Structures are given as C-alpha cells and as structure tokens.
Chains A and B, each alone.
Chain A
C-alpha cells in the first residue's frame, strides 16, 4: 500500500488532501471569496452591498482612527499572549511533571470550565471585577485602595477577560510539548555545568518551542479578533477591532467596510504569524 503511494506521489497527495481540501473550500475559501467580493462593493441606504465595484471601503478602512484601533488591538493581544504564556508555563510544567496517572485528570480539570457557556463565564468575571465585587473588596481589604475603583470597561478588564478566556489554548499545546520532553536532557545539561536557568534556555525552551509557538498563535489570533469579551468587559468604552467589524455588519450597516477591515486584519495577523514561525523555525529544524 505504502509502496504504491511512494511510487505515485501525486495520487498519494491527492487522496490525503481530499477530505481536508473539501472542508477548506466549503467552509473557508467560499466565505472568504464572498467577503472579498463584498469589500469591493458600494452600499445602498440600508447597508446592503451594491455594484459597481469600488475601493471606497478600503479608503474608509485606512482612516487613522481605525488604524489606531488596529494597533491597539494587536498590542492588547500581544500583552494577552505574554500573560497567558507566563501563567500557562508553570501550570503546564507542573502537570507534565506529575505522575502519569494524575496528568489526564489535571488536563481534564483545565478543560472543565470550557463546558460552561462562554457568556456565563464572562459574566462571572464581570461580577468579580465590578465596583462592589470581590476584587475591589480584596484591594480595599489589603489597603491598596481606599474606596472602590471602577475596574470594568477599562483596557485592564478586557485584558483580564482575554487572558482568562485564552489560557487553556496556551496550556494544552505547551503541555503536549512538555509531556514529550525527555527530562534526562535537563540532567545531562546540569551534569555538563548548566545551572537551572541555562538548562531551561539552552535545552528546554528550544525543544518545547513547537508547543510555545502553537500556543502563542492559538492565543494571539483569536484575541485580536475577539468580540464578546470586548463587548462585555469593555462596556463600549474600551473597544477592539473585532467589535468594530461586528458593528459594521450590524447597527452601522456598512458591510463593505466590515469586509474590508476583516480582510486587512487577516492579512496582518497572517503576516505576524508567519514571521513568528520563521523566527522559531531555526530552533526546530533539527527536530
């Protein structure tokens, strides 16, 4: 069987790609083409796209206000990725070093919140951060603040929401890398004179880079385009590009602009991801 595949690489490639390719065309390429088409249209009074073709939407999208929002969204997503990384690393390490029989249970526990509706969990966060909520009580109790401060509707609140929501997407790929990690390599590094920090950076980090890269992409990309978290935690005062795009398809009634911004966002995020993977590839070549 494998032999025949090897002799006819074209056939092999085709049969491997068939299911995935179908999926890709129906659920990804066709919608993308529709969005692409709409982005080059005008609109009527009700906001529905109309012909003739025009680049008006792109002219609108490159408005400085929107550009600023792009940058802010990227920045906040970057901070989100960093924070999830810092929180997820020790968690993933801890689970990976547990006896085997406990590990699956721990991963299960990490996943459990995901079976609760995302809205419900976000409302729970709202409750924690609101003026008379536990967070303020704690801060006052410790004496850091004298009276309740408004934590909601700030970039901070959005950031907290994004970090919380994306944490498992960082933990899981990190864990899967760490679980495969051969810990005698750390002993070998120690044996050769590397202290814990050096062993981490010279041996562990390069060898777990695939999980780290995957986790970062899985966190960063959804964070940039996120909508519900921004809607609820930002309370309309702090907004991100994902929410603005959603508005174009809703109340603002500007489908072409929404489509154009979606495509621009996609291009930027894709570029960022490609650059990121490039940077990490050198390390992973040998694996």
Chain B
C-alpha cells in the first residue's frame, strides 16, 4: 500500500494513538482509505473500531498522530466543519422531527436554499425507497426503515466520506442480508467512500473492497477480502477470519518461499512463508502452520507424495449438507477437515466413520507458516 498515489487517498490515519486514561483504545494505527472505496474495519468487541471512526468524524481527538481527510490534517476541526457524515449504530434520528425534517437537517444547517432542500430530500428518500413515509416520525417506523432514514440523512449531504458504525447491528438476520446488498449497491451508485465498522466477518468479506482487521487497538492487516482470507499476516487474523487449524512447531528448514516445521511429536509440516517480507522464519525458531479445513483432504490410503501426509484417527464426523466436517486426531491435536460433498450419494461407505484411520494431506502452497 505504500506505493498508492496520495491523490487517491480519501481518509488517512497516521500513527494515531487514542488513550482513555492509561488505556490505549487505539494504539499507533496507520491506514489509508482510497476514494470511493468500501472499506471495512473489522475486529472483536472493544478493539477500537468505534474510536477510530469517532476520530475521523471529529468527536474525539487523537492523543497523538493525525487524521487526514482529503490530504488535510484535521487537527481540532470540529465535526460540523468536516466533510464526513456518520450513520450511528443507534441511528440517532431526531425524535421530534419527521423523516423529511430529519433528512433536511444537514442541508438546512449548511444554508442550502429551501427549494433545493426539498428536491434533494425527495431524491434521498427515493434512493432509500422511503418517499411514502416522509411525514412519519421515527418512532412510527420499523428498525429497517429507521436505518434507511439514517442513511438518507447522511447521504443527502453528499459527504466525501460516509462513516457507518455497525449500521446493521440492530437488524435481524434476514433484514441484515437484504440491507447488505442494498448498502453495497447504494455505495456503487453514489460513489462515496464508505468506512464501515463491523464485527461480523462474513459481512466484511462480502461487502468490502478492502478490510482492516483490528485487535486491541492495533491495525493488524489491511487488504482485500481474498488477501485477508488467503494470506493472513499473523496468527490473530488467520484465526479471526474464517476457520483454521494451527499446527505448532519449530522451524527445521527454510527453502525459498517455503518452510518446514517439526511438531513436538517430530512430524514435519511444510507451508508457504506468510506474514510479509520482514517475517522470514529462522531455523530453530517457534512457528505455526495455519491450514484451513477446506484445504485438507482425507484419503483411505497413503498418498504418493509424502509431503504433509500423516496418518490420523477420525474422531468425529458431522454431516452439514454441502460438506462433511470431520475432526481428526493428529497426535494430541484436533484437526478440522471439511470435505465437500461433490458426489450425490446415499452410500454410507462414502463417508468416514469415527474410529477409522485415514491419511490427511494438504499442499504446502495451501498452508501458511506464521511466526507471530
């Protein structure tokens, strides 16, 4: 990302720290959001996502470091002078105003002439498909409708950046899925940069152009959904996004892009070296191989290539329709294996049974060696 041209950067955090008392809620975070990008901030509860968003909006000031919007350092610029708008998790609609008045508020504050306010409010409500509810009060509407009003109220100002703090968090599962699609197509339509906070990884993966994974105030990795899933740069990201198996050991050989570990039981495991250019493992160091359940295959007989092939005992078998989720014992460790059910069969012998022995294999290029 360092080679991204600056002209294309909409929002940037440079070495931002935010402390509440002694605790650093955000700890030396640097990240750059490109213009018109759908950018997700993903991480467990309390990792500092909201705090980052609030610093961009201007509700909080960084303890140190700086927030840039459009290349300009924001310093103490108050929220009402920043060209960003927020969709609050609680929506924060004004209860004493109708939907139309809520949406008009931002335009009125910026001194837009009345006829234009009316026109743009109409357009914005059209955009979120609520023009028929313009004269309702917020509490007369469902959660999903309120959510769309909050969106219209922010979008009507045509901000450069729209900040969304878990905007779908209060909706039920079905509505949530619908709104994800709607939000994504809306973003493409209006061409505004979205910074989207969520702790739902599936939401982040399906909607975003790029994702920033956070933990305990640190921005661990920024990348596309595929990069984040296929090339996690550390153990936390590999673990947090999707499911994975970790096989711990000490590095016994390094060979180009690949490294081999020996587990405590002496089994060799080889994988692609992950974690970025400055994270090359050295022989003798502790490391972990991360391999995702769907990248492992189970066979009844020993495979021809001996690399990453181990005899294991089947521990449990769970049939979930699209695939069968098998847990096998490699030494003491439980390894999850997801076998896709690509054959339509009723034959019980097609599936493994607990207690059987099997051979587990995965290709070194489908596994990652992580040192941190």
Contacts and interface: CB of A to CB of B under 8 A. Distances in A.
Contact of B94 (A185, A190, A198): A185
A184 B92 CA distance: 6
Interface in A224-243: none
Given A193-B110, A198-B109, A286-B137, A207 B80 contact: no
Given A185-B92, A283-B96, A191 B137 contact: no
Contacts of B110: 193
A195 interface: yes
B105 interface: yes
A206 interface: yes
A207 B137 CA distance: 14
Interface in A149-205: 182, 184-185, 187-195, 198, 202-203
B129 to A, nearest CB: 22
A193 B157 contact: yes
Contact of A191 (B85, B95, B96): B85
Contact of A193 (B59, B80, B95): B80
Given A190-B78, A286-B137, A207 B96 contact: yes
B106 interface: yes
Main secondary structure of the interface of A (DSSP, over half): helix
Interface residues of A, number: 21
Nearest to A186: B92
A189 B79 CA distance: 9
A207 B98 CA distance: 14
Interface string B210-248: 000000000000000000000000000000000000000
Nearest to B97: A286
A51 to B, nearest CB: 55
B90 interface: yes
B254 to A, nearest CB: 51
A33 interface: no
B92 to A, nearest CB: 4
B101 to A, nearest CB: 10
A191 B97 contact: no
Interface string A92-118: 000000000000000000000000000
Contacts of A283: 96
Contact of A286 (B57, B78, B95, B105): B95
Interface string B119-145: 000000000000000000100000000
Contacts of B98: 286
A53 B110 CA distance: 67
Contacts of A193: 80, 106, 109-110, 157
A202 B80 CA distance: 14
A287 interface: yes
B79 A190 contact: yes
Name, among A193, A202, A206, the residue most crowded by chain B CB atoms within 10 Å (CB to CB).
A193
Nearest to A285: B96
Contacts of A189: 94, 105, 109
B96 A190 contact: no
A182 B343 CA distance: 57
Given A187-B59, A286-B97, A182 B78 contact: no
Given A192-B85, A192-B106, A194-B105, 7 more contacts: A182-B92, A184-B92, A187-B88, A191-B86, A192-B157, A206-B96, A286-B98
Return the 4 tightest CB-CB contacts between A and B, nearest first.
A193-B109, A192-B106, A188-B92, A190-B79
9 contacts: A182-B90, A184-B90, A184-B92, A188-B86, A190-B80, A192-B109, A193-B80, A194-B109, A207-B95
Interface of A: 182, 184-185, 187-195, 198, 202-203, 206-207, 283-284, 286-287
